[in-house]
Amino acid sequence: MKQKWFLRWLTPLLLALPLLLMTRTALAALGITGVQPGTVQSGTASQIAITGTDFVTGTVALLDGFGVLDTTYVAPTLLTAALPASVPPGVYTVRVIAPDGTQASLANALTVVGPTATPLPSATPQDVFTRPQLIVVSYGASSPQIAPGENYDFEMTIQNAGSDTATNIVAEFAEGDFLPRVTGGIRAVGSLTPGQTARFFQPLYAVRELSQKKVASLEVKITYNTAAGETFTDTFTLTFPVVQPGVGGTVQPTATPTPRAIVRPQMVVKAYHTDVEQLAPGTQFVLQVEVQNVGNATARRLSMIVGGGTADVGSGTPTGPGGVSGGGGSFTDFAPVQSSNVQSLNDLPALETITANQPLIVNSATKAGAYPLKLSFVYVDERGQTYVDDQVITLLVFQTPQVEINFYRDPGPLFANQPNQLPIQLVNLGRQTALFGNMRVTAEVEGEFSNNVLLVGSLDPGNTFPLDATFTPFAAGPTELVVTVDYTDDFNQPQKITAQLTVEVLEGFPTPEPGGEIPGGEIPGGELPLETTTEMFVRFLRGLFGFGSARPQPTLGFFPVENFDNGGGRLEGVPVP
């Protein structure tokens, strides 16, 4: 009888127990019950303990009118926060914000007194320290459960829960249980004003090692700045359930997750080049960029911002005129000319390619080297959601030596088949000392050179280096001399400077034939002709008066001669003075 009475009361209690537990769970909510100590002194750093309900990892505490505190999660009912010495005296409301955006506050929970322990009025908004604070509002994957070795699209929504605007927001997805795809794990979000939210996507790959885990974690580090240039970094750890394969016995069927297709455009730089082969300081050139939409949706109102830019990405509505900002880019080494750095490329369908041309100039103070150039592509999708895709390309700047190659004096006419001197010089017209290799001179016609290669070495600005080569051409006529100077560029690649000089080559003098004879005749000489009686008498008289009576001797020498007919049909050579 007692046993039946016991069962009669036990059965209702067992049925009511789950309802009691559900009621307890439903009643649990984020809240603050107290702050200890309730009064602290200004000018001294201290710790406060916040008691309440439903605290989770990532919950942050802040003081209304001051800003976010360095918060540590201890238990679901306890948080500790570091109170800096810079908190001004006053009475503050303590507020806590959970990672899902839920908030709770306790008015007049903390009093900060001055050195005299006299409570002071609350600080005015102009005197308090403000900063942005990003929190995760929601996140998810394209499948409710993660299977190892599969690709997923990750979605994340963040909110600025602080009291200042967050700029240059960059989300970095660390490698671990997931590997980033497509973007390399870096997403540029843009700027968020206080209370504003932004939603973005990241393709991920679940590693196969997840088969040994029940929960996969993803670490996301978000870096952002304030308008004053202060940098903040927040790290969030997000978790996902993992589908476990059956072990032994009969494999239990599991629901196959249906991936949720992510429909959005995606801009990438397919190729780029410049119309100038080598860029140098002061060079004006046109940068040609081939942009491809690798996404699966049309990009509307596509704009390219050279140097980097931002747009309003938080409202989820189309960005109207003036919504694209390109004035915050870097133009130290490359600056736009003839047009601004913002170009409208209209609409770009999926998998289509468009070419954009941007005139630029290299700063005259830019040194030789490899310089990254940021390109931002701003566009909206069919739903009016604004996106900003950042790409980086690299441009090479060379500093080619400024030289002039010429004759340091007029070489005059050159003669064929005779050695001729070439007075060539190299002049450094640049502003810096240049280091050169060999300097050589050659010709496009047949001929012989000597002393035509010489090592130059270091050449100061305005100085010259001479090369006195000897050239023996084999033919007459205009001759092109080719002068080359070797040097190594700023990227350790061998280069050449080439110049052409034109000289005139004339026919040379006739040369003796083998045997010592000169073409055209013979030199008179040999035996003297017979003397007549009259010539002998004249010589006698000259000797009698002291004028000399010796017979005149013919003068011998190598002269050009002319032939004439002496009347007897015989040609004789006569010297031509």
Whether 514 shows a pLDDT value over 70: the answer reads no
Q: Per-residue pLDDT for 253 more than 60? A: no
For the ranges 86-100, 424-438, 515-529, which has the lowest average pLDDT?
515-529
pLDDT band at residue 13 using 50, 70 and 90 as cut-offs: low
**pLDDT exceeds cutoff 60 at 271:** yes
Given this model, what pLDDT does residue 47 score?
86
Q: According to the model, what pLDDT value does residue 124 have? A: 46
Alpha-carbon distances of 268 from 183, 271, 393, rounded to whole Å = 10, 9, 11
Report pLDDT for 250. 44
Task: Compute CA distances 577 → 135, 404, 465, 574, whole Å.
Answer: 110, 47, 45, 10
Residues 440-446 have a mean pLDDT of 89
Instruction: Please tell me the total count of domains within the chain.
Output: 5
pLDDT at residue 468, rounded to an integer: 92
User: Is the pLDDT assigned to residue 35 strictly greater than 80?
Assistant: yes
| Residue 406 confidence (pLDDT) | 93
Q: Are 342 and 377 in contact (CB under 8 A)?
A: no
pLDDT (0 to 100) of residue 272: 94
Residue 20 lies in a domain: no
In this structure, are 392 and 408 located in the same domain?
no
Q: Same domain, yes or no, for 390 and 274?
A: yes
Q: What percent of the chain has pLDDT over 90?
A: 26
Judgement on whether residues 303 and 210 belong to the same structural domain of the protein: no
What pLDDT is recorded for position 572?
A: 45
Q: Is 317 a member of any domain? A: no
> Which H or E run includes 26?
helix 2-27
Can you give the CATH number for the domain in which 207 is found? 2.60.40.10
Residue 94 sits in the same domain as residue 152: no
Weakest-pLDDT range from 189-198, 331-340, 465-474, 535-544: 535-544
pLDDT at 209: 86
Q: What is the CA radius of gyration of the chain?
A: 48
Average pLDDT score over residue span 54-65: 88
Is there a single domain that holds both residue 223 and residue 281?
Answer: no
Residue span of the structural domain in which 181 resides: 134-241
Co-location of 207 and 277 in the same domain: no
Whole-number pLDDT of residue 339: 87
Specify whether 367 is located in the same domain as 393: yes
- What is the model's pLDDT at position 441? 93
Confidence of residue 16 (pLDDT cuts 50, 70, 90): low
Q: Which DSSP state fits 294?
A: -
pLDDT higher than 50, residue 503? yes
- pLDDT for 214 equals 85
Considering the domain boundaries, does residue 187 fall inside one?
A: yes
Same domain, 81 and 178: no
Sheet of 453-459, strand order: 414-415, 494-506, 477-488, 434-443, 453-459
Instruction: Give the least confident one: 89-93, 392-396, 512-516.
Output: 512-516
Residue 80 has pLDDT above 70, yes or no: yes
| Least confident residue range of 126-130, 341-345, 397-401, 437-441 | 126-130
What are the tens digits of pLDDT across the range 154-183?
888 899 988 889 998 999 988 888 888 887
Confidence of residue 142 (pLDDT cuts 50, 70, 90): confident
In a shared domain, residues 456 and 343 = no
For residue 302, which of 289, 291, 313, 316 has the smallest C-alpha distance? 291
Q: Considering Cα of 170, then 393, then 297, then 145, what sign does the dihedral take?
A: negative
Segment 189-210 mean pLDDT: 88
| pLDDT, tens digit, 9 for 90 and up, residues 85-119 | 888 888 999 999 988 888 899 998 888 887 654 44
User: 102 lies in a domain?
Assistant: yes
pLDDT at 120 over 50: no
Q: Please report the pLDDT score of residue 513 as a whole number.
A: 54
Q: Which of 19-33, 126-140, 204-218, 553-567 has the highest mean pLDDT?
A: 204-218
**Strand 166-173 relative to strand 215-225: parallel, antiparallel, unpaired?**
antiparallel
460: confidence class by pLDDT, cuts 50, 70, 90? very high
390 and 282, same domain (yes or no): yes
Tell me how far apart the alpha carbons of residues 192 and 169 are, in angstroms, rounded to a whole number.
Answer: 8
Q: What is the mean pLDDT of residues 516-542?
A: 64
Per-residue pLDDT for 486 more than 60?
A: yes
Confidence check: pLDDT of 277 > 80: yes
Task: Tell the burial category of 249 from Cβ atoms under 10 Å away from its Cβ (0-12, 13-18, 19+).
Answer: exposed
Q: Which of 190-194, 403-407, 441-445, 570-574 has the lowest mean pLDDT?
A: 570-574
**3-state DSSP call for residue 409?**
coil
Look at residue 366 and give its three-state secondary structure. coil
What is the pLDDT at residue 574?
Answer: 42
Q: Is residue 383 part of a domain?
A: yes
On whether residue 515 sits in a domain, the answer given is no
Asked if residue 260 belongs to a domain, the reply is: no
Pair 563, 460 in one domain: no
Residue (of 448, 422, 425) closest to 436 by Cα position = 425
- pLDDT over threshold 60, residue 286: yes
| Mean pLDDT to the nearest integer, 429-443 | 91
Residues 230 and 182 in one domain: yes
Mean pLDDT of 238-256: 61
At residue 283, the pLDDT reads 92
* pLDDT value for 522: 47
Q: 250-274: buried (b, 16+ CB within 10 Å) or exposed (e) per residue?
A: eeeeeeebeeeebebbbbebeebee
pLDDT of the residue at 227: 84
Top-confidence residue, 216 or 250: 216
Inside any domain, residue 121: no
pLDDT confidence band for 14 (50 / 70 / 90): low
Closest by CA position to 438, among listed 499, 497, 480, 481: 497
Q: Side-chain half-sphere of 489: how many Cα atoms within 13 Å?
A: 18
Q: What is the mean pLDDT of the chain?
A: 80
Over residues 287-294, mean pLDDT: 93
